[in-house]
Copies of this chain bind each other. A is one copy, B any other.
Amino acid sequence: MSKAYDVMAASCPSRTVLHRIGARWTIFVITALADQGGPMRFTELKRYIQGITPKVLTETLRALETDGLVLRVDHGDNPPHVDYALTELGQSLRAPLAAVREWAETHVPDILESQQRAAGSAAGAAGTHH
């Protein structure tokens, strides 16, 4: 039997899924919650993911909640108390994203070096055109 979904097909819904996963801040939120190993509060996430703005964090969390990857629990106290945690589905995304994160952190030097070389040869070739 053939696969039900194929990302190479133009109108396959898996492309939408991929788009969500690839969204700028998704990997950070999932990774943060995974790193922590338990529920985190809004401010805690914001502190952990350095440089993220509250607006973007909210948007990302809402999207992940909609997709069933993150569970939002409002304890309704005053002052407010809201917890975010990975759902089971979210947990299943831990390993793949951890691998990507690991790859990124590991290969920074390689890529920087390649970029240097590319910039260098571009500059060197700059006079040769036209």
Residues of chain A whose beta carbon lies under 8 Å from any beta carbon of chain B: 3-11, 13-14, 17-24, 27-28, 31-32, 48-51, 65-68, 89, 92-93, 95-97, 99-108, 110-115, 117-118
Report how far A31 CA is from B118 CA in the complex, Å. Answer: 23
Asked if A18 and B104 sit within 8 Å, CB to CB, the answer is yes
Report how far A103 CA is from B11 CA in the complex, Å. Answer: 18
Q: Which of B28, B66, B101 contacts A118 (CB 8 A)?
A: B66
Pairs across A and B, CB under 8 Å, 26 listed: A5-B104, A5-B108, A7-B27, A7-B28, A7-B105, A8-B32, A13-B112, A17-B104, A17-B107, A18-B27, A19-B24, A20-B111, A21-B104, A22-B22, A66-B115, A67-B115, A68-B114, A68-B117, A68-B118, A89-B111, A92-B107, A93-B103, A96-B99, A96-B100, A96-B103, A99-B99
| Given A8-B50, A18-B27, A96-B99, residue A3 in contact with residue B114 (CB < 8 A) | no
Q: Which of B3, B5, B51, B95 contacts A99 (CB 8 A)?
A: B95
Asked if B100 and A21 sit within 8 Å, CB to CB, the answer is yes
